[in-house]
Amino acid sequence: MGDSIDKVALITLQELADKNENAEYIEHDLIAFPHMYSDARDIEISALVTSCFAFGGKAEAKIILDSIHKNMNNAGGPYQWVRTFAWTSIPYVNDALYFNIKNKDLYNLADRLHTLSIKAENDERYSGEIMNVVMQGLEPVVALKRIFALYPPSFLVNEGKDNNNFRFHLLLRWMCRKDSDIDFGIWDFISTEELKAPVSKKTRMALVNLGLITPDDSVERIYDVFNVAFPYDPARGSFIIGSEDYE
């Protein structure tokens, strides 16, 4: 695979990532919500919830997330929002909250996070991290599906024509990558080498324009390209587009 990638295009990918991965990225991206907090437990809860809304237009998603995070902050932060049952003010109804996400999906997710947060806090093996509770030797995406699919907010599973689990890979990038001005590195029990870049339509088009893939190539081909360009940190491939281009 490495021999078949144009070296100039490969350097271009690395230069794009260098240009875009900086603190200015945060204010234009949904990751700004978990960046409001310094406590790892607040960051984890905020990131888990925020990642659900990482599709469609960012402006629309931010309106919903602003409202959710105001409720979280009124409860003392995302972690206290989960632990103190403040989330039970969410109407348990089928009304749409954001595209195919319903109010009751968010309610059920918060209920699930409440249960997992208690287990994470009371068992010293888990270091207080919800993700640690469900990993248990599983692949990271499989573990995330256990968090999100018990009371199925099915909007997160098997999404997109590539079935590339975009929002799971985005969340893993946020939480696992270390030494980044943008990502948190809290889930340090997951190696960055295991990660995959979240692949959006604009990411795909950028690679097509560089001649690195064809429009019909599978998402696995895209992963191959990023594995060569960023061998120890393939999720960094998501930074080949700027935050303002992210949907």
The whole-number pLDDT of residue 75 equals 98
Q: List the beta strands (DSSP E) in 16-146.
A: 96-98, 101-102
Residue with tokens 């995330």: 144
The whole-number pLDDT of residue 124 equals 76
Closest C-alpha among 139, 130, 137 to residue 169: 139
CA angle 131, 132, 133 (to 5 degrees): 90
The whole-number pLDDT of residue 165 equals 85
What are the residue ranges in the chain where pLDDT is below 50? 151-153, 158-162, 246
Provide the whole-model pTM. 0.92
